[in-house]
Amino acid sequence: MPPAAAGTPSVVLGVAGGIAAYKAASLLRLLTEGGARVRVVPTASALQFVGEATWAALSGQPVATDVWTDAHQVPHVRIGREADLVVVAPATADLLARAAAGLAGDLLTSTLLTARCPVLMAPAMHTEMWEHPATRANVALLRSRGVVVLEPASGRLTGADTGPGRLPEPAAIHAAALRLLARGSVGPDLAGRRVVVSAGGTREPLDPVRFLGNASTGRQGFALAATAAARGARVTLVAANTELPLPAGVDVVAVGTARELREAVLAAAVGADAVVMAAAVADFRPAHVATTKIKKTDEGPAAPTVELVRNPDVLADLVAARRDGVLPASLVLAGFAAETGDATAGVLEHGRAKLARKGADLLVVNEVGPGRGFGTADNAVVILSAGPGAAEVPVGPASKEDVADAVWDAVRGRFGPG
């Protein structure tokens, strides 16, 4: 096909032979509606699930599975060379194995060998196949070469089976693809890293129907998780009380309270390279939780008095665990501080004091208030770093995804060699 117009990304959508191939049609639609020029390269077995005519009609491009069609144009070399991004969805166990082995028996595997752009794979298969040591070894090998292999989702599989191995939703794969396109040739610079992100707002129960909470929606934390996955990291997202669609390729641990979040983050931090605490964790919780609903009556006091006790400081506990050798000394710890200025100090002054008090490596300070911070599409922050070379880097106003990229840039700058 002729080259894409200037400014139009050229994307190859590889489709392997699994039942989830039908979902790739929705991904194709998202890519083309977003302005990308997409060439679909299915395997021969993929056409058993979705026919050639469907791919050609939706993409407006010719479709072939072998290297002999239009051989005079040398498609097995040209398609990969011209691509800005290659996405394989679904990536079956067979396709992952052939890609890891460097085989080139059809047009898709040949394209993978010739591509010099970022490659994103979204696996889909039965749980037993995903968890088999051979598949895990193939995924690890591909990731070591810079391929972004997303973690599959958990849910209903073919038939009555349920478990990890489900193709992530097309919208989530599309979001990961957009992040890779936005980064261009930079590629998956977090490949081989394991990171933990907390997101959302904790809720502390008062009685069976009431709780103390906050206004956090989890959008910034989810952006951090999605961006890290798109940059090649293995991501554990500890999510507290969010209603957002889950990002593709991320292991999710759902929690409710501050103490649940603390347990989940400390467990996930073992073996991690970085923890970014973006969740809004309640500082206090009710000292006593009523077992039945607290009734409002016409007699007695106007309202009950609620005694509060302190919640654990999760970031401080992480710092202490690192200091005591429970967590590795190389672990990078970053916190978020949603601040407002007051009579004693401004937002940044409060942030600097908190960074010194917590002992973290980085603190992302954002001012909150009407139209700022919680629930908005954009964010404006200052990234404070501690220790030698301490700096203050303002970011934004910018999308929360761009803010997330800036945070990971700062985290990456703290990694040691290797």
What is each CA distance from 391 to 197, 281, 362, 367, in whole angstroms?
Answer: 22, 26, 10, 18
- Provide φ and ψ at 174, rounded to 5°: -60, -40
Q: Is the separation of the CB atoms in 343 and 315 below 8 Å?
A: no
- Provide φ and ψ at 247, rounded to 5°: -70, 150
Reply yes or no on whether 214 is catalytic: yes
- Provide φ and ψ at 180, rounded to 5°: -65, -40
Alpha carbons 147 and 121: distance in angstroms, whole number: 7
Is the C-alpha dihedral spanning 357, 314, 201, 384 positive or negative? positive
Alpha carbons 113 and 83: distance in angstroms, whole number: 12
Selected catalytic residue, list 138, 214, 241, 366: 214
Joined together, the tokens standing for residue 323 give: 């200091």
Joined together, the tokens standing for residue 239 give: 């999510």
Joined together, the tokens standing for residue 267 give: 């467990």
Nearest to 275 by CA among 359, 332, 327: 332
Tell me which residue has tokens 């989890």. 218
Q: What is the 3-state secondary structure (H, E, C) of 95-146?
A: HHHHHHHCCCCCHHHHHHHHCCCCEEEEECCCHHHHHCHHHHHHHHHHHHCC
Q: Is the separation of the CB atoms in 278 and 374 below 8 Å?
A: no
Residue 14, phi-psi category: left (phi > 0), alpha (psi -120 to 50), beta (remainder): beta
Active-site residues, by number, are 214
